[in-house]
Amino acid sequence: MARAPALFVSHGAPTVALEESPYTRSLTAFGRNLAPAAAVVVSAHWEDRQPVRVGSAPRHRTLHDFSGFPAPLYALRYPAPGDPTLANEIVERLEAAGVPAALDPGRPLDHGVWVPLRFLLPKADVPVVPVALPRPRGPEEVARIGAALATLRDRGILLVGSGGAVHNLSRVAFDRKDAQPEPWARAFDAWLAGRFDDQDREALLAWRAAAPEPATAHPTTEHLDPAFFVIGAALAPDRTETVHEGFEYGNLSMRTLALR
Residue ranges per domain, the chain? 6-259
The pair phi, psi for residue 70, each rounded to 5°, is -60, 145
Per CATH, the number for 6-259 is 3.40.830.10
Q: What is the pLDDT of residues 68-110, one digit of tens each?
A: 999 999 999 999 999 999 999 999 999 999 999 999 999 999 9
Considering the chain, what is the average pLDDT of its residues? 98
The band of 127, judged by pLDDT with boundaries at 50, 70 and 90, is very high
Contact 252, 173 (CB under 8 A): no
pLDDT (average), residues 114-130: 98
pLDDT at position 144 is 98
Q: What is this structure's pTM? A: 0.98
Using the predicted structure, report yes or no on whether residue 43 has a pLDDT greater than 90.
Answer: yes
Using the predicted structure, report yes or no on whether residue 216 has a pLDDT greater than 90.
Answer: yes
Q: What is the pLDDT of residues 46-62, one digit of tens each?
A: 999 999 999 999 999 99
pLDDT (average), residues 12-16: 97
157-163 β-sheet, strand order: 101-104, 52-55, 128-135, 38-49, 157-163, 6-10, 256-259, 240-244
Using the predicted structure, report yes or no on whether residue 224 has a pLDDT greater than 90.
Answer: yes
Q: Which residues contact 258 (CB under 8 A, 6 or more apart)?
A: 5, 6, 7, 8, 30, 240, 241, 243
Burial class of 178 by CB neighbour count within 10 A (0 to 12, 13 to 18, 19+): exposed
Helix (H, G, I), strand (E, B) or coil at 242: strand
Question: Given CA atoms 53, 47, 113, 62 in this order, what sign does their dihedral have?
Answer: positive
pLDDT (average), residues 112-140: 98
pLDDT at position 1 is 80
Using the predicted structure, report yes or no on whether residue 36 has a pLDDT greater than 90.
Answer: yes
Contact 216, 187 (CB under 8 A): no
Share of the chain above pLDDT 70, in %: 100
The pair phi, psi for residue 109, each rounded to 5°, is -90, 115
